[in-house]
Amino acid sequence: MASAQDGSDVEFDGGDIDIERDGQEVEVADGRVEIEDADSDLDFEVDDDGDDVDVESGDLEIEQKDGGVEVENAATDLDFEVDDDGATVDIESADLEIEQKDGGVEVENAATDLDFEVDDDGDTVDIESGDIEVEQSSDRVEVENDNLDLDLDDGAFDFESVSGPVDIEIDADGDVEIETDDGEIELRGGKLDVELDDFDFENDGDGDVEFEDAENDIELDGDELDVETSDVEFENDGDGDIEFEDAESDIELDGDELDVETADVEFENDGDGRLEFEDADNDIELDGDNLDVEGRDGFDVESDGESVEVEHN
């Protein structure tokens, strides 16, 4: 059964739907759904099982394919990419970049002159924050700012400080503790603690790394990563549950479940074939064969896979 008010072109054949009306189109074929609205720059596509999704709405694009996710928001310079198991993450948001790949982590914040890099086991660290630099590898530690320079190279000790007082302790195991007016540096085995002005870093030597300066807070524990800046919150629990939030976007990913909220768009995929989408002109609900589309100018399409009803003003 198919019914419509005047002004629409409606075709319905055994569950397949093709409806066109004033730049708006709803098409269902072989379980695949496509909805377009030229006036609101909407292109909504979902495959027959809801696994592959491609949505474009104005400056926003959401894509789920082969288990991976990409969200781009050109209006806010956001590019959010996660692979099928959440192990590889690449996020760019204005001045901030977060990357997890092959177990390693890199966080760059151009606004605060931060470059934070840690390898897959936490043994190799390279951090630059303002005038402070910390480098750590299996046989070397270097800590440097405008007032001090510490270099430990395979047991060889070299330390310079432009001001005093300075308190240095080195024990028989090669553990080092330094106190100056700038702060404290402590190295015990593979564990490194650095506390300087607006800079706090700790590496426990077992893959647990914590860093904090005036604008950034980073915690890394194996595959778990938390990043907080003045504008962004990011969390990856290492088991596929990822949350990201900045001033304009809120993204939550848990396996196949995806929620995206921006100033103009709300999108939800529950991972079991139910999708909801809403922008300023369109409201779409898809649940298996059940489709409900409410578009601009009173355009309304409802289908249960066996019948379709179309209304518009």
DSSP 282: -
pLDDT tens profile 145-177: 999 999 999 878 999 998 879 999 999 888 999
- Say how far apart CA 115 and CA 188 lie, in whole Å: 25
Which residues have CB under 8 Å from 14's CB, separation 6+? none
Question: Which residue type, as a one-letter code, is found at position 185?
Answer: I
DSSP 273: S
- Say how far apart CA 183 and CA 282 lie, in whole Å: 57
Print burial letters for 42-51: b (CB count within 10 Å at least 16), e (below 16). bebbbeeebe
pLDDT at 84: 82
84, 73 Cβ separation under 8 angstroms: no
pLDDT at 128: 96
- How many Å separate Cα 102 from the centre of its chain? 16
- Mean pLDDT, consecutive 10-residue stretches, the chain (313 aa), reads 53 78 89 92 89 94 94 95 88 95 93 94 89 92 94 90 90 91 90 94 91 96 93 92 94 94 95 93 93 91 87 76
Residue 246 structure tokens: 């900045």
pLDDT at 13: 67
- Say how far apart CA 152 and CA 66 lie, in whole Å: 47
Output the pTM of the full model.
0.90
Which H or E run includes 125? Answer: strand 125-129
Q: Half-sphere exposure of residue 292, counting CA atoms within 13 Å on the CB side?
A: 8
pLDDT tens profile 276-289: 999 999 999 999 88
- Say how far apart CA 163 and CA 156 lie, in whole Å: 22
103, 121 Cβ separation under 8 angstroms: yes
| DSSP letter for each residue of 209-252 | EEEEESSEEEEEETTEEEEEESS-EEEE-SSSEEEEE-SSEEEE
Q: Apex CA 209: angle with CA 196 and CA 134, to 5°?
A: 45
pLDDT at 11: 65
Which residues have CB under 8 Å from 172's CB, separation 6+? none
Query: Is the preceding peptide bond at 165 cis, omega within 30 degrees of 0?
Result: yes
Would you list the domain boundaries of the chain?
1-58+273-313
pLDDT at 126: 97
pLDDT at 1: 40
Residue ranges in 245-313 assigned as alpha helix (H) = none
